[in-house]
Amino acid sequence: MVFKMVSQKLDTNTVLNNKEIVIPKIITPKLEIKDVGKIFKTKSGETVALEKTSFTVKDGEFVTILGPSGCGKSTILRIVAGLEESNSGKVLLDGQEINGPGPDRGMVFQSYTLFPWLNVKDNITFGLKLKGVNQKERDDLARHYLQLIGLEGFEKHYPIQLSGGMKQRVAIARALANDPKILLMDEPFGALDAQTRTIMQEVLLKAWEDSKKTILFITHDVDESIFLADSVYVMTARPGRLKKKIPITLDRPREYSMKSTVEFGNYKEELLSLIREESLKSIK
Ligand code: ADP
C-alpha cells in the first residue's frame, strides 16, 4: 500500500483512492481566531464587548463581518491588528500567534489616515522607503498602484487636495504596497456618499483581484457585505459572537449591476432578517 502526500489545497480528510491512501496536506488557515473574548473595564463597570468567538479566514479569501452597531466588530479587528489585547483566546496569522501590531497586517480605517505633509506618491511608498526598498522599485510600485486605483496623474497632489473617496483609494494603495499578509478594513467607506461608496467597492475588488490578498472587512451595510465577500460572517448583538457564516457564490468579477439580480436579493433578504433580529435585541 502506497502513502502519498498531495500538495493541492484540500479541505477534506483522508481519501481512499483504490489501493492508495491519499493523505491531504493540512492547510493552515491564513487567519485563525480562537476563543477570543473581550471585556472592557471602565469606571462605570464592565462591558462584555465580545463573547468567546472563533472563526477562520482562508488564504486569499474576502471575508466581511456584518453586525449591528456596538456588537464588537471593530474590537475584533483591533485585536487582530494587535491594537487591543483580548481577555481570552488567541489570534494566529499563518499559524503564528499575534502579539501586538506589525507590518504583516495592513489597516484601512474609516477616518482618513494619510500623512498630510506627503504627496500621494510618497504616501503610497512611505512604508517601502522605511523598509529600504530602492527608488526605482518604489517608483514602479507607485505607478502600478496609482494605475490600479485609478489615480494616475494625481501623484503630486497632497491629501488636502483630494476628495474623501480619493483619500481612501490612496489608503488602500498604501496598505497593499507594503505587501501585508492580510488587509484589515474597518468601515473604510462609511464616511462616503452612496455613489462614491459603490465606486470604491468596485475599486477595492479590482485591487483585491490584482493583489490576491486576504481581506477582513468590517461593515454594517448589508449590500456592501454581499457585494464584496466570499463569505459574510454575521455577528450577534452585544456581547458579540459569530451567529452565522453565509458563503456568497455570486460570479466574479462582480459588477454594480449584480446588486439588482434575484440571487443578490435573496442574500439580502436572508441577511436583513438576521441583522434585524440582532438590532431589535440591542435596542430592548
Ligand atoms: P462595533 O464596531 O460593532 O460598532 P465596537 O467593537 O466598537 O462595536 O464596540 C463594542 C462594545 O464595546 C460597545 O459597547 C462599545 O461601547 C464597547 N467599547 C469599545 N471600545 C471600548 C473602550 N475602549 N472602552 C470601553 N468600552 C469600549
Q: How far is the CA of 49 from the centre of ligand 1 (A)?
A: 6
In a domain, 263, yes or no: yes
- pLDDT at position 251 over 60: yes
**CATH classification of the domain holding 226:** 3.40.50.300
Whole-number pLDDT of residue 2 = 47
Q: Tell which phi-psi region holds residue 105, choosing left (phi > 0), alpha (psi between -120 and 50) or beta.
A: beta
Q: Which domain holds residue 64?
A: 28-104+180-283
Share of residues in the chain with pLDDT > 70 (%): 90
Rounded mean pLDDT, 5-19: 49
Whole-number pLDDT of residue 23 = 62
In a domain, 192, yes or no: yes
109: Cα within 13 Å, side-chain hemisphere: 9
Check if the beta carbon of residue 128 is closer than 8 Å to that of residue 177. yes
Atom of ligand 1 nearest to the CA of 77: 6
As a residue count, the chain comes to 284
With the most atoms of ligand 1 within 8 angstroms of its CB, the residue from 46, 47, 66 to mutate is 47
273's grid cell: 432578517
Q: How far is the CA of 76 from the centre of ligand 1 (A)?
A: 10
- Measured from CB, residues less than 6 Å from any atom of ligand 1 are 40, 42, 47, 49, 67, 69-75, 238
What letter would DSSP give residue 281?
Answer: H
Rounded mean pLDDT, 180-189: 97
In a domain, 115, yes or no: no
- pLDDT at position 187 over 70: yes
Measuring CA to CA, how many Å separate 96 from each of 38, 64, 83, 103?
A: 20, 22, 17, 14
In a domain, 156, yes or no: no
Atom of ligand 1 nearest to the CA of 76: 6
Number of domains in the chain: 1
- pLDDT at position 52 over 60: yes
